[in-house]
């Protein structure tokens, strides 16, 4: 399959996730990095692009310049997809411009900061027929795919309860006051749109929906800013009522906090069905714990015997040779690549703009609920 030529917006020097996307695309092997507008000023943007390996003439000063210049290039060598890894307030405008210019889009989460923008982008993606992925990367882990297959295949019975928590400690103090780049925009309501709910809660929400196949019917949330003077929530607890499936209306608890000392990137989920339980932890992602009503608890290992086709397909290395974050991202990129190239029978499992819209609606519903003292709110 011919490599997909992509341009990146964001992901410049000293940034976090852009380099992870580029590494994941290299690991997947089907992508070619041809241009970018990687930083917030034209000088830095050009310098970042050249440092990341781009030819100087395609290391653009701004994303508007990049979209315009690439649109004018010969179709045989212009970019085909745009990857957006800027702060949250800078997702919607470049995504819209990229769609209007006929490019495919991969955007990091949250899709954007308002439901109105999210729905407009979804409509536009439908109209243009472009592939639009939102990188809920945790759904790319082999053992998460195994968990999904088992739950959807009825191996634990109808789901009754989901516990999902995403806990971090890096914002337990006022890190933004030190000028730390990632903390600065994440705690600025105008740039982030939301705090812990938007930064990590939306990953937890997607993971719960992905593994269970359930949709959220309503939420009741409590959100706090423990660090004095912080303009966004740094901690949230959410009760979830899922829509009924198989005659059961499952319940969930979601915790998203960034003020938990000692917690690094602690995303974990337990799904309790009528007859069994599956449990997965992002910091030990190679295993899945499975229990029944009785009998011994089993630990399934990535690469081991008895796993489903989806988990095997998401695996690159033999068991005991740890894979992780970048590999999971690469699995998402494989799905996106197959969708762009319309490969018959290929793996098309990647989070779409539909998931992005649901994520933004979830964040808004939680913040509405918290503001209203814990009312039940339907995210729509």
Ligand X SMILES: NC(=O)c1ccc[n+]([C@@H]2O[C@H](COP(=O)([O-])OP(=O)(O)OC[C@H]3O[C@@H](n4cnc5c(N)ncnc54)[C@H](O)[C@@H]3O)[C@@H](O)[C@H]2O)c1
Q: How far is the CB of 239 from ligand X (least distance, A)?
A: 24
Smallest distance, ligand X to C-beta of residue 177, A: 16
Least distance CB 66 / ligand X (angstroms)? 9
Q: Order the strands of the 104-107 sheet from edge to edge.
A: 31-37, 4-10, 81-85, 104-107, 132-134
The binding site for ligand X (CB under 6 A) comprises 9-12, 15-18, 37-40, 45, 63, 85-88, 90, 108-109, 135, 137, 181-182, 185, 199
- Least distance from C-beta 155 to ligand X, angstroms? 28
Minimum distance of ligand X from residue 169's CB (angstroms): 16
Closer by beta carbon to ligand X, 307 or else 326: 326
Instruction: For the beta carbon of residue 114, count every other beta carbon within 10 angstroms.
Output: 15
Query: Residue 208 corresponds to which tokens in the numbers above?
Result: 């719960």
Nearer to ligand X, 184 or 289 (CB): 184
Nearer to ligand X, 88 or 331 (CB): 88
Smallest separation (angstroms) from ligand X to the CB of 296: 34
User: What is the enclosing helix (H) or strand (E) of 86?
Assistant: none
Shortest Cβ 181–ligand X spacing (Å): 5
How many other C-beta atoms can be found within 10 angstroms of the C-beta atom of residue 248?
Answer: 15
Shortest reach from residue 198's CB to ligand X, in Å: 7
Residue 300 in tokens: 């399934």
- Residue whose C-alpha is closest to residue 136's, from 303, 309, 333, 281: 333
Residues 200/239, Cβ–Cβ less than 8 Å: no
> Tokens 């053992």 sit at which residue?
143
Please name which of 164, 110, 116 lies closest in space to residue 282, comparing C-alpha atoms: 164
Are 166 and 260 spatial neighbours (Cβ–Cβ below 8 Å)? no
Q: Which is nearer to ligand X, 61 or 319 (CB)?
A: 61
- CA dist., res. 25 & res. 207, Å (int): 22
Whether the Cβ atoms of residue 80 and residue 104 lie closer than 8 Å to each other: yes
CA distance 94 to 80: 14
Q: By C-beta, is 86 or 352 nearer to ligand X?
A: 86
Distance CA 156, CA 54 (A): 49
Q: Which C-beta is closer to ligand X: that of 282 or that of 290?
A: 282
- Of the two residues 135 and 331, which places its CB atom closer to ligand X in the complex? 135
DSSP string, 272-285: EESSEEEEEETTST
- Please say whether the beta carbons of 216 and 362 come within 8 A: yes
Give 182 or 249: the residue with its C-beta nearer to ligand X. Answer: 182
Which residue, 158 or 355, is less far from ligand X as judged by CB?
355
Scanning the structure block, which residue is given the tokens 């010969």? 74
Q: At which residue do the structure tokens 């995210």 appear?
A: 379
Q: How far is the CB of 32 from ligand X (least distance, A)?
A: 20
């Amino acid at each position: 399959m011919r490599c997909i030529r992509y341009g990146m917006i964001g992901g410049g020097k000293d940034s976090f996730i852009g380099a992870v996307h580029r590494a994941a695309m290299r690991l997947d092997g089907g992508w070619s990095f041809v241009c970018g507008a990687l930083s917030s000023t034209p000088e830095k943007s050009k310098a970042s692009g050249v440092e990341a390996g781009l030819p100087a003439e395609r290391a653009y000063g701004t994303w508007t310049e990049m979209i315009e210049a690439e649109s004018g290039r010969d179709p045989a060598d212009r970019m085909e997809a745009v990857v957006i890894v800027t702060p949250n307030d800078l997702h919607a405008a470049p995504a819209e411009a990229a769609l209007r210019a006929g490019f495919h889009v991969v955007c990091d989460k949250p899709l954007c900061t308002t439901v109105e923008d999210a729905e407009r982008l979804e409509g536009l993606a439908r109209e243009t027929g472009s592939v639009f992925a939102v990188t809920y990367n945790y759904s790319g882990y082999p053992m998460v795919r195994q968990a999904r297959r088992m739950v959807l295949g009825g191996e634990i019975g109808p789901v009754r309860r989901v516990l999902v928590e995403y806990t971090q400690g890096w914002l337990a103090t006022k890190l933004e006051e030190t000028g730390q780049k990632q903390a600065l925009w994440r705690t600025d309501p105008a740039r982030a749109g939301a705090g812990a709910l938007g930064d990590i809660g939306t990953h937890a929400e997607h993971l719960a929906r992905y593994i269970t196949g359930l949709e959220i019917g309503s939420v009741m949330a409590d959100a706090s800013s423990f660090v004095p003077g912080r303009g966004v929530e740094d901690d949230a607890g959410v009760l979830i009522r899922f829509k009924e499936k198989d005659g059961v209306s499952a319940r969930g608890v979601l915790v998203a906090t960034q003020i938990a000392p000692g917690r690094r990137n602690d995303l974990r989920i337990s799904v309790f069905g009528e007859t069994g339980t599956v449990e997965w932890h992002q910091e030990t992602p190679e295993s899945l714990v499975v229990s029944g009503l009785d009998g011994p608890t089993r630990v399934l290992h990535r690469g081991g015997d008895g796993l489903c086709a989806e988990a095997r397909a998401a695996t690159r290395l033999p068991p005991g040779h740890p894979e992780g974050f970048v590999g999971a991202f690469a699995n998402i990129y494989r799905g996106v690549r197959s969708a762009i190239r319309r490969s018959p029978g290929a793996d098309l499992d990647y989070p779409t703009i539909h998931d992005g819209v649901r994520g933004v609606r979830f964040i808004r519903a939680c913040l509405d609920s918290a503001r209203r003292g814990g009312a039940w709110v339907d995210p729509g």
